[in-house]
């Protein structure tokens, strides 16, 4: 992971690098020019069926430069206990997920990944933390 980025208006989503579920480095600059939906996910949550809706959105609008970026997180009642391989297989087999998914990440608390620190710091949401899965 890159060094921490200062939290200021000089940075964008596209300054971050993350790892895919397959362990490959991904530069979010690859998504520049697209409408990007970043979502934290979990496979053992009452909201898990939202994968289907996210996949439907991705399929419908990907040709119009829309992309969903999924970040599995185990932060909420340990509802994402799987390995990267297990998460990938589950999402593919149960929901046909083809949108980009990234390695399991921490999205709340002091150990949250730099991307989520930046997202929260630059959000107009009234909360300081992500509140649940699929937020």
Which CATH number fits the domain that encloses residue 55?
A: 3.40.30.10
Is residue 37 situated within a structural domain? yes
Instruction: Classify residue 53: in a domain, yes or no.
Output: yes
Is 132 among the domain residues? no
The domain of 68 spans 13-121
In Å, how far are 21, 60, 104 from 43, measured between CA atoms? 14, 23, 11
Q: What is the tens place of the pLDDT at every residue in 11-37?
A: 899 999 999 999 999 999 999 999 999
| Number of domains within the chain | 1
Residue 2 lies in a domain: no
Has residue 89 been placed in a domain? yes
The answer to whether residue 68 is domain-embedded is: yes
pLDDT tens digits for range 45-103: 999 999 999 999 999 999 999 999 999 999 999 999 999 999 999 999 999 999 999 99
Residues forming the active site: 45
In degrees and rounded to multiples of 5, residue 30 shows phi and psi of -65, -20
Confidence (pTM)? 0.90
């Amino acid at each position: 992971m890159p060094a921490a980025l200062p939290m200021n208006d000089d940075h964008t989503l596209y300054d971050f690098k993350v790892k895919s579920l397959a362990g490959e480095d991904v530069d979010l600059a690859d998504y520049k020019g697209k409408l990007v939906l970043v979502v934290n996910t979990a496979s053992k949550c009452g909201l898990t069926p939202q994968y289907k809706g996210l996949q439907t959105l991705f399929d419908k609008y990907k040709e119009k430069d829309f992309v969903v970026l999924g970040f599995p997180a185990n932060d909420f009642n340990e509802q994402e206990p799987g390995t990267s391989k297990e998460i990938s297989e589950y999402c593919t087999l149960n929901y046909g997920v083809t949108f980009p998914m990234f390695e399991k990440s921490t999205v709340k608390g002091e150990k949250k990944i730099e991307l989520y620190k930046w997202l929260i710091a630059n959000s107009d949401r009234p909360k300081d933390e992500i509140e649940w899965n699929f937020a």
